[in-house]
Chain A
């Protein structure tokens, strides 16, 4: 029986502010799971702390709501122990790129096969609108007492530098594009991140739905808005690495593309490289039975609770007397 959207909903009341971009992200996640027909018990969504972090409670898959900034270590722990599960790590911009920046960067070194979604709205919503690490220098969103004195992080460039092998941007209000991008990210073999531009109708009065939509920039001919966001898929840009010699040029063009912001903001896949061995591949080289018998699937005792691990060899290496049976030490 095919899985439907209803199979991925929970009865928990969705308590985001009306108009919040999180609604679009929630729908896109559920739609992607339906499209991919992933069994709920095969999927686990991990989240941090902040508005985004409630998302797992609204999706009928294993849902782990963790600590501020710590989504990735939890998610990676579960993936290492059960590499057959689909693990999605949902993070906020403050959560994932501020307090959790160290984990964001170091997870990049591992190219582990999980999907990271960053809800990027430029503010700390749940604590009432302080500047997040992605808010640009000089901006003063409505609850800031002074304009932002810090530069904003460029999450696409940071992900590239850290070693993510799938890097994309999408938009919370373009649910179809977001759903397709999330699907590509899940299907990607390796560590994928999707930066999701998300208006915060309550605290970010600058990067609004209207701003992204370009409603302040009417085309003089048609009278229609000129959106700031545009789709890389609709240009001749191609960030997918298909052979080793493409790695450097595609990396360089992705880094260059990542600088675009303001009047023209690219959406879509900036960079994808499946030639990099995943963390699972690397472990497999050291532990040949890793995938067939990963940590969580190993039996550790017999039915009577007797350990089945034999440490005899290690004890033997430490043994100093009585090595030869019945001969004593000498």
Chain B
């Protein structure tokens, strides 16, 4: 774990660390936690490194790489026996209760912990001595002395100009301690500071200093990390990047957004790459681009996307809970006017401002029911970073085929975690535009935008197509799109719209809506959606080694939910366990509503932190041992 005050380079240190491990053939999963703050408050990156692919976070810390005193104190009791703490030698004398950024409740809680352990440390050094008895080793590195040496070497008179490199010193010390090959770390530094040669050379020097210091001083640490060879092509990617890439491959050409955590990263990444490259076969098309519009608010964002989508372009917006709350009226307009728009919805702690930078999965019901009245929509939810990519692309297919809003639910844990995985495969993306007419289809004919049809889907014509015109309105309307309050027309148009959801339910195969892992005759079935997927799969693997056979039903399209399939699978399941990141078990409620099937066990979490595979494992194990209460609430996380 890399931990320090915000603004001290925790992010770049973690990225360098992650990339360096990836370059060395290792797999990485990095979970990022931060306050709603720019400078000063505590943040950390918990990075798991493994020879095998990693899908989730765990509770344990083997090596705590602390940039400041608070980071030591905050996480000290998470460090596993035999683990180590790399910290600033100067921080050892800091009084534990003299750390200004500590919130009072945490101080009180920490006093309680110390009391329960029967220890009374005054300083960080005392605390480290105490845990030392528990086989947690301290590796104190004199950051300021090393910086002074660097300053002298490069002739920098002001030491304060170099303090931002403490992150790389800490990183260098970590790699030195575990004896990792320095070359991939150097490569990672070059990759992260890409176009700044001076910054690169300074950081390489910092790496060298700390690396050599640690290698020499802590040679017998027993911690070891080695590069391994792999022929597999892999990437190191964040959730928001995967969703953005999915949109590009899926043909999105206009995206609107208003700045909000944790969604904004996606739009910024798209804007950086607004001029698109096209496949060789398509270069004569005249150049591709995606237009990113930062709007004045989320109300403008969704409605601008709708206005654009009317012209036939694939348009999307990306937001988080508070933004989606503002979008709701516009969502209803798109539903009523049958406009294919995609809303990428990054859930975070709620309600109101809630926990702006923290994790939650509490908006499934909201996404399903948002806006007054009844209209069809499709909801997709991704369970991992790769699914973010493929779902982002296919969301447009559903939106256009059924001419309705598609809400793609992602969550903070996916948005802000980085993972190594095999390369995304854009060739697996298929573009299906539904019944999209062109000029020749309407030539000399009367065009009715809302023609009543059996499937409910009326052939769609882009606004601006020569030779005809059409009308749209948020009012109830006739086939031409003019206002109509006639009861018969009202009924027929209403039914036509709603019919599209039945058509989608019939046409979209179950395989695109759920993923099933394990055997149908398993002794228990876990049901979940969104980011707990990784933790569930890892927990199931561990339980499998212990002789417990569980299956996992991952819901990727909670609306419309494939009713018969669920009835069948859950009807056979011996123990039904729901795992989700909210208080009221929202998905369990939807399943009950659609199928009448109740869950036997509930594993829930709403403390603002993602599920770790350890805690999911513990909870499931209790259930398998018949020792669990009906409802278990998970609490891991700092």
Contacts and interface: CB of A to CB of B under 8 A. Distances in A.
A319 interface: yes
B453 interface: no
A181 interface: no
Nearest to B289: A287
Contacts of B249: 307, 309, 311
Interface stretch (B351-359, B466-474, B517-525): B466-474
B234 A80 contact: no
B288 to A, nearest CB: 6
A306 interface: yes
Contact of B483 (A54, A286, A292): A54
B86 to A, nearest CB: 24
A49 B473 CA distance: 10
Contacts of A57: 471, 473, 482-483
- Indicate the size class of the contact surface on chain A: 35 or more
B432 A46 contact: no
B276 interface: yes
A287 B287 CA distance: 9
A127 interface: no
A289 interface: yes
Nearest to A78: B307
A289 B289 CA distance: 8
A321 interface: yes
Identify whether the interface residues of A are mostly helix, strand, loop, or mixed. mixed
Residue of B235, B275, B314 with most chain A CB atoms under a 10 A cut-off: B235
A72 B306 CA distance: 12
Contacts of A85: 311, 463-464
Given A293-B287, A298-B288, A64 B254 contact: no
A310 B278 contact: yes
A283 B309 CA distance: 19
A70 to B, nearest CB: 5
Given A67-B474, A295-B313, A288 B287 contact: yes
A309 B312 contact: no
Contact of B313 (A54, A81, A105, A311): A81
Contacts of A293: 285-289
Given A300-B253, A302-B282, A318-B236, A330 B227 contact: yes
A220 interface: no
B230 A329 contact: yes
Contact of B463 (A62, A73, A328, A330): A62
A54 to B, nearest CB: 7
B287 A63 contact: no
4 shortest interchain CB distances as A-B pairs: A77-B307, A289-B287, A300-B251, A322-B233
Interface of A: 10, 12, 39-42, 44, 46, 49, 54, 56-57, 60-67, 70, 72-82, 84-85, 102-103, 105-106, 283, 286-290, 292-293, 295-296, 298-302, 305-315, 318-322, 326, 328-330
14 contacts: A63-B469, A64-B310, A65-B471, A65-B473, A67-B330, A75-B307, A81-B308, A102-B299, A295-B253, A295-B289, A306-B430, A308-B281, A315-B426, A321-B25
Given A300-B431, A313-B277, A319-B233, 9 more contacts: A44-B463, A78-B311, A289-B275, A290-B289, A296-B253, A308-B282, A309-B279, A320-B235, A328-B229
